Structure 1
Amino acid sequence: SGHVPASIIKQRFKEDLKSDVVEALVPKHFRKEAEKQGLIPVSQPQVTDLHIHDGEPLRFKATFEILPEIDVQGYKELRADHPEIDVKDEEVEEAVNNVREQHATYTSVEGRPLADGDFAQASMDGKPKQDDDTSKPVHMDEVLIEIGGKNTVPEFTQNLRGANAGDTREFEVSYPEDVADKRLAGKAFVYTVKIQAIKQKNLPELNDDFAKELGEFTSLDQVRKQIRENMHAERKHDAERQAKDKLVAELVKRNEFEVPESLVDRQIDVRLERGLRALAAQGMKMEDLKKMDLPRLRVGQRDQAVQDVKSSLLLERVADLEKIEVGEDEVNHEIAALAQQTKQTPEAVRARLTQDGGLDRIRNRIRSEKTLDFLYRQSA
């Protein structure tokens, strides 16, 4: 009647069926059993001794890593510095002067040669005297050189002083070993400098009019107050960050326990990805990134990854004990900030994060920060 007997179908598809059954049932039963025994798996189970026969119950062995039981010790006895944050008047004045320098204007001077305090607007070529791979010729179309300036290479001042607009000067510079730019240490260059114009620097007067030009200020005192507050907040943040890092390091030191290898591996991935992203952002080329010795880099990241995993497990445990939770409003606040950064709607950001597990990461990060705040507050 055109029906293929079930036994033949069974035979033919046995292998396929088997693998489908395994893929569908094993994870489900594995999760159920792990929950029943109160275990939290942190790695994919390695399944062995799979027993799958018609009419018999499914049996298998699963080997996997679990989160260690951590009985966290001594977190209430941790102590950290809570230094008084001080911003001196002269530091505020220095910052005000930096803002003033940024708003300097330059006007052309006619009818006289370059003198100290002037700026030479010039084009410049530099040829290395040594023939090595690390010294490359330099060319700049337009550069401002301060004659007699404290950061000006002395040979530039000596050779350009007294020159007129339109003149070209050629001279040699031998850089000392202790020069700030390490690429120039011990090198010699021949420079050809063509002076296009002589400029004078004009600094705005420090008064309330200057403050108004900066934006939402009505007086210079307001500018000073804002600068002082920013410096104070930045220093307070840095001091807290350092103190929290020390607290976590001390917490890890007081609590010895083994961490699951799979978590360490995952953290090494995170650290490497972060490092490679930073290198790419600094302009490292893709082909150079590909040439890097990843196995060696992984080994180099291992110790720090173990510390990272330990600290995050310990902070999680402290959060459980202290009942530190994350409210929806806190998550929404974070999503709103991300939306603003990426110029998307909060809804779009939330949808993307829901898909790739990002919401949990945000919750964990906020919870971890709140736990650090708790440890810092009680460490005084």
Structure 2
Amino acid sequence: MQVSIEATTALERRMTIGVPAERIEKEVDKRLQQTARRVKVPGFRPGKVPMTVVRQRYEDSARQEVLGDVIQSSFYEAVVQEKLNPAGAPSVEPKVFEKGKDLEYIATFEVFPEIDVAGFETIEVERLQSDVADADLDKMLDVLRKQNISYVDADRAAQNDDQVVIDFVGKKDGEAFAGGSAKGTQLVLGSGRMIPGFEDGLVGAKAGEERVLNLSFPEEYHNKDLAGQAVEFTVTVTKVQAPQLPELNEEFFAQFGISEGGEAGFREEVRKNMQRELKQAIKTKVKNQVMDGLLAANAIEVPKAAIESEVNRLRQQAVQQFGGGLKADQLPAELFEEQAKRRVSLGLIVAEVVKKFDLKPDEARVKAMIEELAGAYQEPEQVVSWYYKNDQQMNEVRSVVLEEQVVDTVLEKAKVTDKQVSYEEAVKAAGAEQE
């Protein structure tokens, strides 16, 4: 087999491959002999069809199958021989496909770039230091209570944070419009669910009262027929309900799976969850800074084929997450290209760090991570056992641990400064995780 290579760009390769005719003909003969043993031809017993008849009827199709298989296998042999790392399937251009002549074709494809990761010492990382203070815990308990708020009938005028039960009819130019009417709607005043002015117009209303609200839809409203239009809502308040926070009692604790220890036990469990969240938030922010630094210090050209593949994967994820009857190919590729390029680039750089420093998942860290994950559940022992019986989940944990070891390796040489901050600032989202 003859192979010649031309580099057309930094990553694109144009490889000419020649396969001896003898290899093609031997494979064609082999296929025809297999066909002769099973083919049924009128006038001949099974397995007794003359080879001349088999060849006449089936040689063309057998040759096409052989050519396809030989191109696939010879391309693989060629890239192994030339020590190339293709980033995607090749584009094949035939040169000589004639019977009796050597097969010759051109395969054009991209290769992954060669990377020598460096520049760790130029990376700057701000590592946050924080803890869960009692005031943070008290604030979290208030949040949990508000998330489980209930409403009780109140014999008074409605005020912000109250829930009102209303019937309403919306009209534009004296005619009711689609989607503008409802009965028995529960609305918390001040929640911002309705268009500007609607909720404010019900402050002070009592049960049984009717109010007419003259309002306008926002200019940027999603329904273009109503955007910027003046409308009139006739609203009847049937109930005014005051918010009631749940007590910190056994019934409330049971909603979170806490059946023992009373308020002290509940507070301790919430504190543990907050500490887990805090640890993960700090770890994520450090990781993002390290990854940003690796990208800045190691600018690489990324194969288009790898970006396209990642774009398609992100499209599929978006469809699974948001659904709505969309198909992946209906989502514009441009929406995902920047994120895809970042992911592919980081994947290549991180893999090279792993290779350069001969990193392998630390099984002690793997065990610790599984136990930490299991600690968030009521029966952690069962969760740990489930992980160790599930190869896919174990591999995912090992992958996360290996990535953490990459971050640690970079931090050993990077410029790291520690900064003491509040719990709120530490857990505040720094935007969606980019990787």
For this pair of structures, how many residues does the alignment match?
347
**RMSD of aligned residue pairs (Cα, Å):** 4.8
The Cα of 1:263 is off from its aligned counterpart by 0.8
**Structure holding more helix per residue:** 1
**Structure holding more strand per residue:** 2
Q: Percent identity?
A: 19
CA distance in 2, matches of 1:132, 1:373: 63
The answer to whether 1:83 aligns with 2:83 is no
The one-letter code sitting in structure 1 at the alignment partner of 2:88 is S
- Residues 185/250 of structure 1: CA separation in 2 closer, same or farther (3 Å cut): farther
- Residues 376/70 of structure 1: CA separation in 2 closer, same or farther (3 Å cut): closer
Determine if contact 1:175/1:187 at 8 Å carries over to the other structure: yes
Kindly report which structure 2 residues correspond to 1:149-168, keeping only aligned pairs within 5 A, or say none.
Answer: 153-158=199-204, 160=205, 163=206, 165=207, 167-168=208-209
The Cα of 1:377 is off from its aligned counterpart by 4.6
- Residues 88/140 of structure 1: CA separation in 2 closer, same or farther (3 Å cut): farther
**TM-score, normalised on structure 2?**
0.62
Determine if contact 2:165/2:238 at 8 Å carries over to the other structure: yes
The answer to whether 1:317 aligns with 2:352 is yes
- Residues 321/310 of structure 1: CA separation in 2 closer, same or farther (3 Å cut): same
CA distance in 2, matches of 1:88, 1:188: 50
Partner of 2:18: none
CA distance in 1, matches of 2:177, 2:274: 39
- Residues 309/7 of structure 1: CA separation in 2 closer, same or farther (3 Å cut): same
The answer to whether 1:308 aligns with 2:351 is no
The Cα of 1:156 is off from its aligned counterpart by 0.9
- Give the alignment partner of residue 172 of structure 1, picking from 213, 235, 239: 213
The Cα of 1:86 is off from its aligned counterpart by 4.1
The Cα of 1:137 is off from its aligned counterpart by 0.4
Partner of 2:280: 237
**TM-score, normalised on structure 1?**
0.69
CA distance in 1, matches of 2:399, 2:334: 26
Partner of 1:49: 95
- Give the alignment partner of residue 10 of structure 1, picking from 33, 55, 63: 55
CA distance in 2, matches of 1:52, 1:368: 52
Determine if contact 1:104/1:202 at 8 Å carries over to the other structure: yes
- Residues 220/191 of structure 1: CA separation in 2 closer, same or farther (3 Å cut): farther
The one-letter code sitting in structure 1 at the alignment partner of 2:200 is P
Partner of 1:341: none
The Cα of 1:222 is off from its aligned counterpart by 3.3
- Residues 320/29 of structure 1: CA separation in 2 closer, same or farther (3 Å cut): same
CA distance in 2, matches of 1:374, 1:176: 53
CA distance in 2, matches of 1:92, 1:307: 37
- Give the alignment partner of residue 226 of structure 1, picking from 269, 273, 290: 269
Q: Tell me, which stretches of 5 or more residues in structure 1 are unaligned?
A: 338-344
The one-letter code sitting in structure 2 at the alignment partner of 1:49 is K
Q: Tell me, which stretches of 5 or more residues in structure 2 are unaligned?
A: 1-42, 193-197, 375-385, 417-435
The Cα of 1:84 is off from its aligned counterpart by 0.8
- Give the alignment partner of residue 403 of structure 2, picking from 354, 369, 373: 369
* CA displacement 1:131-185 (0-9 Å, x = unmatched): 9999840424142656xx7989332123x1xx3x5x2412215479799x99999
Determine if contact 2:132/2:274 at 8 Å carries over to the other structure: yes
- Give the alignment partner of residue 294 of structure 2, picking from 251, 272, 293: 251
Determine if contact 1:42/1:66 at 8 Å carries over to the other structure: yes
- Residues 278/215 of structure 1: CA separation in 2 closer, same or farther (3 Å cut): closer
